[in-house]
Amino acid sequence: MDKHLQKTRTIFAGAIVVLIIVVVSGSFSLKYNHIFSYENFQRVASFYSYRVTLAQEQGSNLLASVGNAFGITEKENPNIYVSHDKALSIPVLVYHGIMEEQDRFNMSAKTFKQQMLALKDNGYQTITIVDFVDYINNKKELPDKSILITFDDGRKDSFYGADPILKAIGYNAVMYIATNFSIPEDSTKRSTYYLLPGELKDMTNSGRWEIQSHSIQYGGGSIPISSINERGNFLSNFMWNSNLNRLETLSEYRDRLNDELGTSKIEIENLLGNKVVSFSYPFGDYGQQSKNNKDKARDEINKVVKSNYEVAFHQIWPIDHDYSQNHPKDNPYYLKRIEPSPEWGGDELMYWLNIGRYKNLPYDDTFSSNNGWKSAWGGISFSENKLSTFASNNTTGSFIFLDGTYLWDNYLFNADMNWKSGDYVFLASRFADDNNYITCTFSDDQIRIDQFENNDSIRLAEIDNKYIINKEKVSLGILTDESSVSCLIEGNVVLKTSNISSRLSYGGIGFKTWDKDSGISNIEINNVKILPIQANSEYVLSTLDKKDLVEKEVKEEVKKPVKKPTPVPKPVEDVYAKIELPYYKSIPDFVSKDWKNLWGNMSVDYNGIVMSSNAKTSGSFAVMPGSKDWKDYFYTVKMDLVKGLSFGLIAREVDPENYVACTFINYGYASYAKLDRVVDGKSTTIGKFKLSRLFPYKWENLAFGIKAVDKYVTCLANGDIILSANIPELQSSGGAGIKTWDETNGNSEIKIRTIDIQPINQ
C-alpha cells in the first residue's frame, strides 16, 4: 500500500509540476499572441456581420445573407466595378487610427465604415502601392476612380478596426510602420499599441495589406536638438549629442538618415519578403519643419529617400494650398494624401474627392457651391452665388486656386468681378503649386505678366495701364497657349508675351489680390469661364463678349490720408515681476512669488509645490502672472498625482478664462489626456487620447508637458507626444499655469517636483 501511495504521490507531484510549467510558460508565450486576442475575435466577428448586412442590403434574405457571408451559398464576393475611363489623377487617403470613440485625429469604426461604403457605392476601387508607383512613374494606366488607402504609424487599432470592412467590400490598404515599435529588436519590449511581426505577417499573407516604411523612429521620432533640452523632428534636424556637447556633423546626420530610411526598409523586406517601394514622412516633415537645419534638411532627406524608395508621401489634410490628388507628372517624392476628418460622413468624403477630380473643359463656375476653390493665403468666402477673396487682418493680400485643374494647359480664363478694394488683382494660370505659376497682374497704373518659378519671380512683360476700368463690374482674363500668355480686359488683349518657361507648360487657375496695407484688398467674383484652345486662340477670343476700352485722361493724383490707429495705453499689470525664459525650478528652490493662486490651495516651499482643493472647491488653479508675454515655449513638470482624478497644464493663459490646457485624467487603465481650449470661460475639447496600457498606473515622479508653438499646441506624457493640434485662432502669447480637479471637494492634490519651461525660437 505504501508503495502504491508513493507512486500516486509521484504521479500527482509530477502532474502539478507539469501543470505549473504549462500555465506559466503558456501564459508568457501567449502574452503577445495576436490570434487569440479579443481584438482579433472582434475583427472576425465584425467582418461576418458586415458581410451579412451587405448581402442583406443587396436584397438577399437573412438566411442567404448568412450563407453568403460564410461562403456557403454561391454568390461572387464583392463585385468589383472597374471603370473604362482612365484615371487622370489618383487620390490617396491617409488614416491614423480607428478607435471606439472618435476624436480629432482618430476615426470611429462606424465612420470609417461609412466612408468606405461611400467609396464603394460611388464606384471607387482600391489599388496596390505597386500599381500606384507604376502609375506615378507613367508605366501603367489605371481605371478612373482608382484610390489608394493608407494608414500611418502601424497601430493595432487601425488594422483591427479597418480590416473587417476592407475585407467585406474587397478593398486593400497600405500600412506605414515605424520599425522601432513594430519590429522591435528587444522582443521583451513589445508594444500593445503597435502592430507586431506576427500580425504584420498575417496582414501581408491576407493579400489585403501592404506594409511599407514610416522609418525606424528611434525614441519616437523626437530628438534633442540643442543644449537646452529643445526637441525637434528626427529627420529634419541635426541631433544634439550631449556626450560630445555638440550637434552632429553633416556626415553623422547623413548616416542617421540612411539608417532610419534604409534599415527600416531592409527590416520590413527581410521580415515580410515584400518590396518596400514607398515611404511616408513621419509628421509629414520632409524638411520644411526643421529648426536647426533649414538649409540642408530638405535636400538631404530627398537624397536619402530617392536612393531607397520610388515614391514618398508628405502632405496631410487639411492643408489647402495644394492640389489634393496625384498625377503621373508629379514629383514622386512629394505626393499628397487627404486625411479624412473623423467628422466626415460618406457625402463629405465624396465632396472632397470630387472637387479634386479633373475638371473638364470648357468650364463655367457661377459659385452656387464651392467646387474646389481653396485658399493658399488670405481669406475666401461664398455668398449669393459670388466668390470673394480678400486679405485677412494680418495679410496684405490673398491667393485662391481651383482644385482639379492641374492638368489644364492651353485655355482662356476669363472672370467677371467687382474689384472692391486693393491695389492689385492677379489672374493666375498654369498654376502648378503656390511657387509655380504665371499671372496677369492688373493695377490702376500697370498691367504686367509675371512668371513665378520655384520662388523666383520674373516680370515677362509690362505696360502702363491707360484704360478706364469700371471696377464695380470688370471682366479680366488670361490666355495661355503653348508658350504665350495674353492678358485681357473686357475681352480685349492688352498685353502679350510668348516666352514662358517650358516647365510651366500646364497647370490650373487662381486669383490673387494685393495691397500695400494689410486687410485691404478684396474682390468679389461673379463668374469664371474657361475655354479650351483647340485650333487657335483667335477663335476662342472671338467667342468672348467684347467691350470697347476707353483710354483715361491724365489726371492729378489725389492722395488719401491714411488713418493710423492711436496706440492704446497698456493697463499697468499687478506687482508680479516679469519672468524670463528659460525658467527652471526644482526642489528646493521654488519661488512662491512667481505664482498667483486663483482657486483652491497652493503651497510653494522647499519641499516642492503642492496644489490641492479645499472643502469648498473641487480643485485648484494657479498661474504665473509674470509669464503673460511668453510666446512659444515648451513647459514640462515632473510631479506626483497624490489624490484626485486629474490635473492640467495651462499655456497661453491671457486671463483665467482664456487659455489652452493639456489635462491628464487618471482613470487607471482607462486613463486619458485631453487638449482643451478655453475661451471666455467656455471650454472646448479639441482632442482626446487614451493613455496606453503601458503608461504607469500610479502617477509618481512623472513628466507631463505642453508645448505651444505659433498656433500649434502639443501635449506630452512621459516624454511622448500624445496630442497636437493646430488652433488657428489661438492667442499668440500668454502665460503658464496649473490646475487640478476631482469629483469630490477636497480630494484633489498634486505635488510638483520640477518645472522646466524652455523658450522655442523658430
Partner 1 sequence: MVKRIGKYIKPKILSLTMSDFAFRIFMMILGFGILFLIILTKSKTISHFDADPLVLFYTIFVTTFELSRVIGALLYNNTIHNKVDLIDNGKFEPMATFVIPCFNEGPAIEKTITKCFEADYPREKLEVIVINDGSTDNTLDELKRMKKIYPDLIIVDFKKNMGKRHGMAEGFFRAKGEIIVQLDSDSYIVPETFRELIEPFRNPKIGAVCAHADPENSSQNFLTKMQAAYYFMSFRILKAAESTFFTVFCCSGCSSAYRKSVVLPIMETWLHEKFLGLPVTWGDDRALTNWVLKLGHKTIYTDKALAYTICPSTLRQLMKQQVRWKKGWFVNSIFASKFIWKRDPFVAFTYFFPLIFVTLSTPFMATKALVISPIFNHTIPFYYIIGIFLVSSLIVVYYRFLSRDNRYWPYVFAWSAINMILLSFILFYAILTIQNRKWGTR
> Is the torsion defined by CA of 294, 296, 297, 302 positive or negative?
positive
Give min distance, CB of 123 to partner 1, in A: 42
Point out which span in 22-30, 249-257, 433-441, 729-737 binds partner 1 (CB under 8 A): 22-30
Half-sphere exposure of 249 (CA within 13 A, CB side): 3
Q: Which is nearer to partner 1, 1 or 575 (CB)?
A: 1
Task: Kindly state the number of chain residues that form the binding site for partner 1, as judged by CB under 8 A.
Answer: 34
Rounded to the nearest whole angstrom, what is the least distance from the CB of residue 35 to partner 1 in the complex?
A: 10
Rule CB under 8 A: say whether 38 interacts with partner 1: yes
- What x-and-dash track marks residues 191-230 binding partner 1 by CB under 8 A? -x--------------------------------------
Segment lying near partner 1 (by CB under 8 A), choices 89-97, 576-584, 595-603, 663-671:
663-671
Minimum CB separation of residue 263 from partner 1 in Å reads: 28
Q: How many CA atoms lie within 13 A of 327 on its CB side?
A: 18
Contact 610, 603 (CB under 8 A): yes
* 37 near partner 1, rule: CB under 8 A: yes
Fill in the per-residue mask, 686 to 725: x = in contact with partner 1 (CB under 8 A), - = not in contact. Answer: -------xx-xx----------------------------
Residue 568 contacts partner 1 per CB under 8 A: no
Question: Exposure of 715 by Cβ count < 10 A (0-12 exposed, 13-18 middle, 19+ buried)?
Answer: buried
86 binds partner 1 per the rule CB under 8 A: no
Q: Which of 80, 534, 670, 710 binds partner 1 (CB under 8 A)?
A: 670
Residue 45, classed as helix, strand or coil, is helix
* Helices 346-356 + 109-121 axis angle, to 10: 50
User: Measured from the CB of residue 187, what is the shortest distance to partner 1 in angstroms?
Assistant: 14
Which residues are CB-neighbours of 391 under 8 A, at least 6 positions away? 378, 379, 397, 398, 422, 513, 514, 515, 518, 519, 520, 521, 522
How far apart are alpha carbons 305 and 297 in whole angstroms? 12
* Residue 84 contacts partner 1 per CB under 8 A: no
* Candidate ranges 17-25, 63-71, 128-136, 435-443; the one touching partner 1 (CB under 8 A): 17-25
Among 70, 382, 669, 712, binds partner 1 (CB under 8 A): 669
Q: CB of 4: closest distance to partner 1 in angstroms? A: 5
Q: Give yes or no for a cis peptide into 588 (omega within 30° of 0).
A: yes
Q: Which residues between 179 and 198 bind partner 1 (CB under 8 A)?
A: 192
**81 binding partner 1? (CB under 8 A):** no
CB of 744 to partner 1, least distance (A): 13
Name the one range near partner 1 by CB under 8 A: 11-19, 41-49, 89-97, 239-247. Answer: 11-19
Q: Which residue has the cell 523658430?
A: 762
- DSSP states along 120-185: HHTT-EE--HHHHHHHHTTS---BTTEEEEEESTTBHHHHHHHHHHHHHHT--EEEEE-HHHHS-S
- The answer for residues whose C-beta is within 8 angstroms of residue 725's C-beta and 6 or more apart is 104, 675, 686, 687, 712, 713
Q: How far apart are CA 656 and CA 734, in angstroms?
A: 11
- Candidate ranges 156-164, 456-464, 573-581, 667-675; the one touching partner 1 (CB under 8 A): 667-675
Asked if 55 and 168 touch (Cβ cutoff 8 Å), the reply is no
Tell me the CA end-to-end span of the chain in Å, nearest whole number: 87
Q: Which residue, 23 or 82, has its beta carbon nearer to partner 1?
A: 23
The yes or no reply on residue 23 touching partner 1 (CB under 8 A) is yes
Which candidate, 328, 321, 279, 319, places its Cα nearest to that of 303? 279
Which stretches of the chain bind partner 1, using CB under 8 A?
A: 1, 4-5, 8-9, 11-13, 15-16, 19-20, 22-24, 26-31, 33, 36-38, 192, 667-670, 693-694, 696-697
